[in-house]
Amino acid sequence: MKILDVLQLDTIIPELTSRDKKGILEELATPVASATGLRQPDLVRVLLEREQLGSTGIGEGIGIPHGKMADLDRMVVGFGISRQGVDFDSLDGRPAHIFFVLVTPEQSTGQHLKLLARLSKMLKNDLFRKKLLTATTRDEIHAIIRHEDNENG
């Protein structure tokens, strides 16, 4: 499964404005909720509950908040960039700038893990991260992700 199979153009936010973790989750959840018909507060609650188990700030300026929702019938990915960076309780203690949010149906553990692994692999590429950070539009971000998605088979 490719990232672009589950990432829609309208779930990409080129300029996140929140200054804290909860605000970032609320911003990321808004277009994902719209795209899926989920209630935004329910989605935010699920993402916050997952954060309580351990931060999804994986270091290198990256956050991959994720959660599972019972009312969801397909996987959905959202994306956002925080230019100023946000304290996301990352493993390396540095601010997070690049966010992929992943929401999957409750019973999709295998696909959920495969998608997380694919995102993690793609995000290890320094050039990919740098390109994302310099992108300013949804279309530009989408094209960068599409290129990297195709490079990673």
Sign of CA dihedral 51, 91, 120, 30: positive
| Catalytic residue ranges | 66
Rounded CA separation 56/71 (Å): 23
Q: What is the pLDDT of residue 107?
A: 85
- CA-based Rg of the chain, rounded to a whole angstrom? 14
Q: What is the pLDDT of residue 125?
A: 94
Helix/strand/coil percentages in the chain, nearest 5:
45, 25, 30
Residue with tokens 């270091």: 59
Query: What is the mean pLDDT, run by run of 10 residues, along the chain of 153 residues?
Result: 92 97 97 94 96 94 94 93 96 96 88 88 94 96 94 74
Local structure of 105: helix, strand or coil? strand
Q: What is the pLDDT of residue 62?
A: 96
Rounded CA separation 83/66 (Å): 21
Structural domain containing residue 38: 3-151
Q: What is the pLDDT of residue 153?
A: 65
Full-model pTM: 0.95
Burial class (CB in 10 A: 0-12, 13-18, 19+), 54: exposed
CATH code of the domain covering residue 43: 3.40.930.10
Domains of the chain: total: 1
Strands 76-86 and 7-13, sheet pairing: parallel
Note the pLDDT tens digit of each residue in 77-113.
Answer: 999 999 999 999 998 999 999 999 999 998 887 888 8
